[in-house]
């Protein structure tokens, strides 16, 4: 029998003793009952969305019993959304995965890990390094992401691995790389408060990122707030201008605004000349996007288009542009994101307070995944295809360079396609639930059922994907392990372990250590003993990269400083003072990460969405966030009784009164929503928040992605969830 490492399971995450179990009674959001006055507090970063809020965790006998927002953390400044308030309660759910489960039966770790290694090795040995893949997440700390990517590719010999961040942020990554030379969101949250004009495109921060919206409300400059969204969202309701464009006409709109800025003298010609290239070519393209054409294609009047452009011109130099999933999840997402970047560049709105072309990330550690997951990029934002990069990472990690692949992975959708075709025969899912979240869900599940080996490593054993798995490995959740997240503004924050995971569930980091041991490659990972030692390795990988973090002195510095935005080089770290490094934006010197230090205008003509409405399917379905109390597939938020009170009891489909009348349906009617792929039942909500011919469903319901049409941006490979043809029936 192979002996596990010296540290035992119990030392890692032993079961709670009775006197430490958190009382099950609900006390409501934010209340710390007097009988639970904590012995001490520690600080953590919330593990839900990319805002990266600071939380104060109240402890009793060393275990977390409650939490409150951290008033000193520079991100949220003492506020938290409902999800953050309930972050601890969802850890107590009765369906936590507590033991490994093999073919439906609980087994011990030794049995599970032997089976994992024997089966995975057998597939790789028989079919080659492309026969197995891993699909990771933006929900685990980046030390774990990096360990997974290094273990799978350097230790086990896989070629392919991607993450569920492909569903949310791949577009921003690709757009920034092409335009700026590196995946580099330029902003800091202070820019919400310092803008004269804020333009939100395909973003609803009131619901999706409510603490960011609180930062907008702190703006004392009486800003203009422009929202571009087909729906009259909560953010649109609070805006000064709302442009309810036809779905997926945003690229045309943005080119039309660029046309008007050029026509009406709104260019920052000096910035364009000194710091960009390809503007003249871009100007030729947008010359055809006259107000008349753009009005016809977007549904926005020419007069309002002129007003939009005039607001930007008069708001210079403090205009900030913000986007998220409404842009990223599109068939032409990368060019749309770059159209936003182009507006910032041509008006000189970059590198200064209150400006920027700013992508709002989705998951708590999507930025960590972008830099350190070792999937389509080599660790630290390097390139698998570059021999010098492979040598550098080999030296930084102590891994022989010949074990580092010389090509990047297939993207998520390409891995699934390969599985459908039988090339990929095993997939290892970590902290993600694609049976619910992936586009065209029924097809996805048919593909998963073809696999010879499906492994799910998650904190709950009841997710839709876990139920299909041959092997489930029980993982600790947020608060039950330690490590770092990177938020939307590039801030690295540390989150500690404040309680034990249930049963024999282990931190993902320790599961990876065990797999390395059982696989027989643990000597390659001698330096990966703890999350902090992994952090040190990743620092070396980042050296001299735009994301250089060699100046961070470790987890303790992050704890004391309120997080640190990258970059922080060794030289910068020697001069580090919290006051001067509290909030920093990129490109203040007009120098970008391209070889010639210039940003590039990138553009292509608009193309129609692949699936259009028809006589049989006359409505366009859009999907998105439901309420601020819901998160993704509700794997965690669905466990909270408090959050449940803030969510609709039934699935609601939003339909315009014109369409409801045409269909002879009234508010509250039971209806079927039907696409070419599937149908589901819902209750009708008649509302003017959607335009005629358009309907909306929240993405959190586990049936919604049965309906969605699987199309992908050709550059980022990100799925388009926002444009599917459906009909409504009684």
- For 378, the 3-state DSSP assignment is strand
The CATH class that applies to domain 619-729 reads mainly beta
Helix ranges (DSSP H) in 318-440: 325-328, 333-346, 366-372, 387-397, 412-421, 434-437
Domain 9-92 belongs to what topology? N-terminal domain of TfIIb (2.20.25)
Q: Phi, psi (5° rounding) for residue 483?
A: 155, -170
Q: 471-474 and 453-458: which strand pairing?
A: parallel
Instruction: Give the model's pLDDT for residue 4.
Output: 34
The CATH class that applies to domain 101-167+365-544 reads alpha beta
Q: What is the DSSP secondary-structure string of 436-454? A: HHSSSHHHHHHHHHH-SEE
Task: Give the C-alpha separation, 728 to 730, whole Å.
Answer: 7
Contact present, 550 and 542 (Cβ < 8 Å): yes
Instruction: Give the model's pLDDT for residue 177.
Output: 97
Which superfamily does 170-359 belong to? Dimethylsulfoxide Reductase, domain 2 (3.40.228.10)
Q: Phi, psi (5° rounding) for residue 484?
A: -120, 145
Q: Taking the C-alpha atoms of 264, 270, 275 and 281 in order, what is their torsion angle to the nearest 10 degrees? A: 40
**Which among 29, 34, 23, 59 is positioned nearest to 44, based on CA atoms?**
59
Predicted structure pTM score: 0.93
pLDDT in tens, 454-506: 999 999 999 999 999 999 999 999 999 999 999 999 999 999 999 999 999 99
Instruction: Give the model's pLDDT for residue 39.
Output: 63
For residue 370, give Cα distances in angstroms to 174, 324, 338, 404: 10, 15, 18, 18
Exposed e or buried b per residue across 285-308, where buried means at least 16 C-beta atoms within 10 angstroms of its C-beta: bbeebbbeebbebbbbebeebbeb
Instruction: Give the model's pLDDT for residue 164.
Output: 93
Instruction: Give the model's pLDDT for residue 61.
Output: 85
CATH 2.40.40.20 segments of the chain: 619-729
**Which among 587, 490, 483 is positioned nearest to 74, based on CA atoms?**
490
- For 388, the 3-state DSSP assignment is helix
Instruction: Give the model's pLDDT for residue 530.
Output: 95
CATH 2.20.25.90 segments of the chain: 9-92
For residue 670, give Cα distances in angstroms to 170, 621, 667: 37, 17, 9
Task: Give the C-alpha separation, 343 to 140, whole Å.
Answer: 34
* Mean pLDDT score of the chain: 92
* Number of other residues whose CB lies within 10 A of the CB of residue 41: 16
What secondary structure letter does DSSP report for 689? T
Maximum C-alpha span of the chain? 77
Instruction: Give the model's pLDDT for residue 62.
Output: 82
Task: Give the C-alpha separation, 331 to 714, whole Å.
Answer: 8
Enumerate residue ranges in the chain where pLDDT < 50. 1-38
Task: Give the C-alpha separation, 336 to 326, whole Å.
Answer: 10
């Amino acid at each position: 029998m192979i002996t596990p490492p010296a540290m035992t399971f119990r030392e890692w995450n032993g079961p709670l003793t009775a006197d430490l179990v958190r009382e099950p009674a609900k006390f409501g959001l934010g209340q710390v009952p007097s009988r639970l006055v904590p012995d001490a507090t520690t600080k953590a970063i919330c593990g839900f969305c990319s805002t990266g809020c600071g939380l104060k965790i109240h402890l009793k006998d060393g275990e977390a019993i409650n939490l409150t927002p951290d008033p000193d953390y520079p991100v949220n400044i003492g506020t938290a959304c409902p999800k953050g308030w309930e972050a601890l309660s969802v850890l107590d759910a009765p369906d936590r995965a507590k033991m490994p489960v093999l073919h439906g039966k609980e087994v011990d770790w030794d049995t599970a890990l032997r089976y994992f290694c024997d089966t995975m090795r057998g597939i790789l040995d028989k079919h080659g390094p492309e026969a197995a893949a891993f699909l990771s997440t933006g929900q685990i700390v980046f030390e774990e992401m990096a360990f997974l990517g290094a273990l799978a590719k350097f230790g086990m010999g896989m070629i392919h691995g991607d993450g569920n961040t492909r569903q949310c942020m791949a577009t921003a990554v690709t757009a920034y790389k092409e335009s700026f030379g590196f995946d580099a969101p330029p902003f800091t949250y202070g820019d919400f408060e310092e803008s004269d004009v804020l333009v939100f495109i395909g973003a609803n921060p009131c619901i999706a990122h409510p603490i960011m919206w609180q930062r907008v409300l702190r703006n004392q400059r009486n800003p203009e707030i422009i929202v571009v969204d087909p729906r009259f969202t909560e953010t649109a309701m609070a805006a000064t201008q709302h442009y309810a464009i036809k779905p997926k006409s945003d690229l045309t709109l943005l080119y039309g605004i660029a046309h008007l800025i050029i026509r009406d003298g709104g260019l920052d010609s000096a910035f364009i000349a000194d710091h960009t290239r390809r503007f003249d070519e871009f100007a030729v393209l947008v010359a055809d996007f006259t107000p008349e054409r753009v009005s016809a294609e977007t549904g926005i009047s020419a007069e309002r288009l002129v007003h939009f452009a005039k607001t930007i011109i008069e708001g210079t130099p403090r205009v900030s542009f913000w986007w998220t999933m409404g842009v990223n999840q599109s068939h032409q997402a990368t060019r749309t994101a770059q159209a936003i970047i182009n507006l910032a560049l041509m008006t000189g709105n970059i590198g200064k307070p209150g400006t920027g072309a700013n992508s709002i990330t989705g998951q708590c550690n999507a930025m960590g995944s972008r830099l350190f997951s070792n999937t389509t990029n080599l660790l630290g934002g390097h390139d698998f295809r570059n021999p010098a990069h492979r040598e550098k990472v080999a030296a930084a990690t102590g891994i022989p360079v010949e074990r580092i692949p010389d090509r990047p992975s297939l993207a998520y959708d390409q891995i699934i396609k390969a599985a459908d075709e039988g090339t990929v025969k095993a997939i290892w899912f970590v902290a993600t639930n694609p049976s619910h979240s992936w586009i065209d869900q029924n097809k996805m599940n048919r593909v998963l059922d073809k696999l010879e080996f499906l492994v799910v490593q998650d904190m709950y054993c009841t997710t839709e994907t876990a139920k299909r798995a041959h092997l489930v490995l029980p993982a600790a959740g947020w608060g039950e392990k330690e490590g770092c997240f990177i938020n939307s503004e590039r801030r690295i924050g540390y989150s500690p372990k404040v309680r034990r995971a249930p049963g024999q569930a282990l931190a993902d980091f320790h599961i990876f250590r065990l797999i390395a041991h059982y696989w027989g490659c643990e000597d390659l990972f001698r330096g990966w003993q703890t999350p902090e030692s992994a952090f040190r390795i990743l620092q070396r990988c980042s050296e001299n990269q735009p994301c250089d973090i060699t100046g961070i002195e470790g987890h303790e510095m992050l704890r004391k400083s309120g997080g640190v935005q990258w970059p922080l080089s060794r030289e910068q770290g020697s001069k580090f003072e919290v006051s001067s490094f509290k909030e920093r934006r990129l490109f203040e010197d007009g120098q970008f990460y391209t070889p010639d230090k210039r940003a590039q205008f990138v553009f292509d003509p608009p193309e129609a969405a692949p699936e259009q409405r028809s006589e049989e399917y006359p409505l366009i379905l859009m999907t998105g966030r439901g309420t601020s109390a819901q998160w993704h597939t509700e794997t965690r938020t669905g466990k909270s009784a408090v959050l449940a009170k803030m969510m609709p009891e039934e699935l609601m489909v939003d339909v315009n009164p014109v369409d409801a009348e045409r269909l002879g349906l009234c508010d509250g009617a039971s209806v079927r929503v039907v696409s070419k792929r599937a149908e589901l039942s819902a209750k009708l909500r008649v509302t003017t928040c959607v335009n005629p011919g358009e309907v909306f469903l929240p993405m959190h319901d586990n049936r919604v992605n049965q309906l969605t049409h699987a199309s992908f941006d050709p550059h980022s490979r990100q799925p388009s969830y926002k444009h599917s043809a459906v009909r409504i029936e009684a």
